[in-house]
Amino acid sequence: MTNSTAWRRLRVLVTVSALALGLTPAGGAHAGPAGEDCPAGQIFATDNTAVITDPADPRLRTRLRRFDHEVRGIVRAHGAEPGASRLLDGVFWSGDLRQATYERSREFEVERVGRDGLRHIAGVLVKEYRQEAVLTFRCLPRASPETDAVEIQAPGVTAARLRDALLANPGARDGLGGGSVTLDGRLVLIAPLADLPLAKAFTEDLGVDWSTAEVRYGDEEFVS
């Protein structure tokens, strides 16, 4: 993703109120403890440098296999261990274009890495693939002073449903900006601690049972 507005839209991915730091997740969403099925770090990245506005664009069908192989090599070359990666279909709202934009990207799990190492690897990807920013996330205890974001995952969402819900909901369009789903229909949302009620309502608009959502707390960074 090359445009900073688009990357801000990726924050989309859900926002959670700072008040939530002292409360259980709204509506019974499952909050997993740091380290439970959670990699040391995650990187959300693409090699795309175009703004795509047509959901039928053939570039959205790429599986990014070469990109996957190259990123794994970069991770190893900088002292960390690559874990699993998965394809994501992103749907975002462009305020400038006044329409939805689309992107195929990958989420990379990274092991044996700390904050500085994760930031460094993301910086390498920014330069290598001419991106304006690359998003990283580290799981942390909910009460950690470094915790400033959440990752929410929930089953039962398609890219088409995400697009329809986004276009039908001006509040979510402007406040959240969009979101991403895996190819097997799992919503993946990351954002600052800010807007839990809006995010929860939008997630439920997608047909998700909020009690099935998994919430991970941690630290997000847009590395540019």
How would DSSP label each residue in 2-39? --HHHHHHHTTS----GGGGGSPPGGG-EEPPTTTT--
Mean pLDDT across the stretch 122-139?
96
Does pLDDT of 144 surpass 80? yes
Residue 78 makes CB contacts below 8 A (sequence gap 6+) with: 117, 120, 121, 124
Average pLDDT of the residues of the chain: 85
Cβ neighbours, 10 Å, residue 193: 18
Report the percent of the chain where pLDDT is more than 70: 84
Query: What pTM value is reported for the model?
Result: 0.84
Choose between 22 and 68: higher pLDDT: 68
Burial class (CB in 10 A: 0-12, 13-18, 19+), 209: middle
Choose between 143 and 21: higher pLDDT: 143
Residue 93 to residue 79: CA distance in whole angstroms: 36
| β pairing state of 30-31 and 214-223 | parallel
Mean pLDDT across the stretch 149-159?
90
Query: What was the pLDDT predicted at 7?
Result: 44
Choose between 84 and 202: higher pLDDT: 84
Query: What was the pLDDT predicted at 178?
Result: 82
The C-alpha R_g of the chain, in whole angstroms, comes to 16
Helix %, strand %, coil % for the chain, to 5?
Answer: 35, 30, 35
Residue 170 makes CB contacts below 8 A (sequence gap 6+) with: none
Report the percent of the chain where pLDDT is more than 90: 64
State how far Cα 105 lies from the chain centre: 10
| β pairing state of 134-139 and 41-45 | antiparallel
Does pLDDT of 17 surpass 70? no
- Which tens digits make up the pLDDT trace of 72-120? 999 999 999 999 999 999 999 998 999 999 999 999 999 999 999 999 9
Cβ neighbours, 10 Å, residue 33: 12
